[in-house]
């Protein structure tokens, strides 16, 4: 898109997606092919040795997926992105260039339950070690640092409990330890939160949620701000020491600022294989076109619904950072000035049994395990997304048994309030 600086809405529509050079097609075509014809044997060898950019095989790169990567990098004001099959795959690929067996990260204790599981159990199989720090206390991240810590990991707006972390303070801890802060910005999206403006080095996404926006395509991404120097051979050998898998090329020397992103594609996607399908990239590109409009309405509806619930006799508590009563409201105003997202929890006055009856009696809200759909969704995290956690971990993550999670969609807000009001009456009966 040239050198001009465009606004967010313009980037959401145009970044990465010029008319197709072969056909003039205005929407990005779905390049469904797996492989690409080489000009010659030399050309093929140059591509395989990373001496020339280009497409080899769609497990590594694909034109539709690359258009999405470029758009996501532009929305975050980053320099590159690796697009993956899911948000969970993005978290693995975000860490792969940084970690060797025995290395360590400090992650927030308020994360999506699946991420806590992934980090606490599956990462151990590669001997990647994780300590969880109190997401509300930046100094706890500092206390948990070890000489082998290679990154800090937080969700800016945590799923599900409406907790907003102090990004700037946590980024300072990362900066002083000379390690990157990784922010899972799924719940806020680049429209509501700008992690790189506050010192984060990397952002991860489940594009499955608000970025795609209609619950029809799984996907994920890692975006590099380009502001962290990975050229430290002792700390980040995969990026800064000779890579035997590529004839001893040194990623940082050969690719400069793009070393981290190219490693993600050339090693991460090539060897682990969690590649996003072109059809999903196409659907996500379409979704992003309307991201700014959708996020505005998501936030406005969520705010109205949260205010209604806060005044309701059957609701003991509403955990929405957009409400003045939230302990995270000041942080939300700083880090999420356009709105505090549309996912939050409520605690029913009738406890666990009432929570179950409530979830089952809603009609417009769909009872399912997703967030960020245009349609409103409801879930009981303790028996689903946070089910594998211990009761202590559930409470810490804001997903105790009496909690219900709402993901407020784009319906007429009065209809949502009617549905919730009827559901609360049934839950109390
Ligand atoms: C905040 C957050 N991060 C990551 C993930 C994982 O994403 P995916 O389901 O696309 O693997 C989720 C899924 O719910 C999530 O809510």
According to DSSP, residue 233 is labeled T
In the predicted structure, residue 2 carries a pLDDT above the cut 90: no
% of the chain residues with pLDDT over 90: 91
What is the number of the ligand 1 atom nearest to the C-alpha of 155? Answer: 1
For ligand 1, whether the C-beta of 28 sits within 6 Å is: no
- Span 191-195, average pLDDT: 98
Distance (Å) from CA 112 to ligand 1 centroid: 7
Residue 320 near residue 308 (C-beta atoms within 8 A) = no
Quick check: 174 and 166 in contact, CB under 8 A? no
Q: Is 82 helix (H, G, I), strand (E, B) or coil?
A: strand
Half-sphere exposure of 371 (CA within 13 A, CB side): 28
Distances (CA, A) of 235 to 150, 203, 267: 8, 20, 18
Between helices 351-361 and 413-428, what is the axis angle to 10°?
130
Q: How remote is the CA of residue 343 from the centroid of ligand 1, in Å?
A: 13
Cα separation of the two ends of the chain: 59
Q: Is 115 in the pocket of ligand 1 (CB under 6 A)?
A: yes
Domain boundaries of the chain, sorted by first residue: 8-98+180-287, 290-428
**For 88-121, how does the pLDDT look when each residue is reduced to its tens digit (9 = 90+)?**
999 999 999 999 999 999 999 999 999 999 999 9
CB of 113 sitting under 6 A from ligand 1? no
Counting ligand 1 atoms within 8 A of each CB, the residue from 90, 91, 114 with the most, and so the one to mutate, is 114
The pLDDT of residue 400 is: 83
Topology of the domain comprising 290-428: 3.90.1150
**Atom number of ligand 1 nearest to Cα 89:** 11
Q: Which residues contact 329 (CB under 8 A, 6 or more apart)?
A: 321, 322, 323
- As a whole number, mean pLDDT of residues 291-319 equals 98
Q: Is 168 in contact with 145 (CB distance < 8 Å)?
A: no
pLDDT on residue 82: 98
Cα angle at 406 between 405 and 412, to 5 degrees?
170
Measured distance CA(165)–CA(173) in Å, rounded: 13
Angle of helix 63-75 relative to helix 278-289, nearest 10 degrees?
30
Confidence (pLDDT) at 3: 64
List, for residues 324-339, the tens digit of each pLDDT value.
Answer: 999 999 999 999 999 9
Q: Are strands 181-184 and 202-206 parallel, antiparallel or unpaired?
A: parallel
- Distance (Å) of CA 249 to CA 118, 239, 272: 31, 10, 20
C-alpha dihedral (387, 392, 393, 395), degrees to nearest 10: 80
Query: How many angstroms is it from 187 CA to the middle of ligand 1?
Result: 9
Q: 386 CB contacts (<8 Å, ≥6 apart)?
A: 113, 160, 393, 394, 397, 399
Per-residue pLDDT at 399: 80
Name the H helices within 290-390.
Answer: 291-310, 329-335, 351-361
CA of 248 to the centre of ligand 1 (A): 35
CATH class of 8-98+180-287: alpha beta
What's residue 9's pLDDT? 98
The string of pLDDT tens digits covering residues 366-416 is: 999 999 999 999 998 888 877 887 888 787 777 888 899 999 999 999 999
Residue with CA at minimum distance from ligand 1 atom 6: 87
367 CA distance to ligand 1 middle (Å): 17
Taken as a whole, the chain contains a residue count of 429
Express each pLDDT in 141-175 by its tens digit: 999 999 999 999 999 999 888 899 999 999 999 99
Average pLDDT, the chain: 96
Pocket test for ligand 1, best of 89, 93, 206 (most atoms within 8 A of CB): 206
Most confident segment among 16-20, 202-206, 425-429: 202-206
Q: To test ligand 1's pocket by mutation, which of 72, 83, 86, 87 has the most ligand atoms within 8 angstroms of CB? A: 87
pLDDT at 388: 81
CA 76 and chain centroid, separation? 12
Non-local (6+) Cβ contacts of 208 within 8 A are 86, 87, 215, 217, 218, 219, 220, 370, 372
Q: How far does Cα 301 stand from its chain's mean position?
A: 22
Q: Report the percent of the chain where pLDDT is more than 70.
A: 100
Q: Which of 118, 208, 379 to mutate for ligand 1's pocket (most ligand atoms within 8 Å of CB)?
A: 208
Query: Closest ligand 1 atom, CA of 219?
Result: 10
Residue 86 CB–ligand 1 contact under 6 Å = yes
**Confidence (pLDDT) at 244:** 95
Q: How far is the CA of 371 from the centre of ligand 1 (A)?
A: 9
Give the pLDDT confidence score for residue 382 in this predicted structure.
81
For the whole model, what pTM was predicted?
A: 0.97
């Amino acid at each position: 898109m040239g050198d001009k600086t465009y606004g967010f809405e313009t980037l959401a529509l145009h970044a990465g997606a010029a008319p197709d050079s072969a056909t003039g097609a205005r929407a990005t075509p779905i390049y469904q092919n797996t492989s690409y014809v080489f000009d010659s044997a030399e050309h093929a060898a140059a591509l395989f040795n990373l001496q020339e950019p280009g497409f080899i095989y769609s497990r590594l790169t694909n034109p539709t997926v690359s258009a999405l990567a470029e758009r996501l990098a532009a929305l975050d004001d980053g320099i590159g992105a690796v697009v993956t099959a899911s948000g969970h795959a993005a978290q693995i690929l975000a860490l792969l260039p940084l970690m060797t067996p025995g290395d360590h990260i400090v992650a927030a204790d308020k994360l999506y339950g699946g991420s806590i599981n992934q980090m606490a159990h599956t990462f151990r199989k590669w001997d990647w070690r994780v300590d969880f720090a109190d997401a509300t206390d930046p100094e706890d991240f500092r206390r948990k640092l070890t000489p082998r810590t290679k990154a800090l990991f937080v969700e800016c707006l945590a799923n599900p409990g409406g907790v907003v972390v102090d990004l700037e303070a946590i980024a300072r801890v990362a900066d002083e330890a000379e390690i990157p802060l990784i922010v899972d910005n799924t719940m806020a999206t680049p429209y509501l939160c700008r992690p790189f403006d506050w010192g984060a080095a990397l952002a991860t996404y489940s594009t499955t949620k608000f970025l795609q926006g209609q619950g029809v395509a799984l996907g994920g991404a890692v975006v590099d701000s380009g502001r962290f120097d990975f050229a430290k051979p002792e700390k980040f050998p995969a990026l800064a020491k000779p890579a035997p898998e590529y004839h001893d090329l040194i990623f940082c020397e050969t690719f400069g600022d793009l070393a981290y992103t190219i490693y993600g594609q050339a090693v991460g996607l090539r060897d682990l294989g969690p590649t996003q399908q072109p059809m999903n990239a196409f659907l996500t590109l379409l979704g992003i076109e309307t991201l700014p409009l959708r996020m505005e309405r998501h936030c406005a509806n969520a705010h109205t619904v949260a205010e209604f619930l806060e005044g309701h006799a059957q609701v003991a508590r509403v955990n929405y950072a957009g409400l003045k009563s939230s302990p995270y409201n000041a942080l939300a105003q700083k880090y999420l000035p356009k709105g505090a997202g549309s996912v939050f929890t409520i605690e029913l006055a009738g406890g666990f049994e009432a929570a179950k009856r409530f979830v089952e009696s809603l009609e417009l809200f769909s009872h399912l395990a997703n967030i960020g759909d245009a349609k409103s969704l409801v879930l009981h995290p303790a028996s689903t997304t946070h089910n594998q956690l211990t009761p202590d971990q559930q409470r810490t993550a804001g997903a105790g048994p009496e909690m219900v999670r709402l993901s407020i969609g784009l319906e007429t807000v009065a209809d949502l309030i009617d549905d919730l009001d009827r559901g609360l009456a049934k839950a109390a009966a």
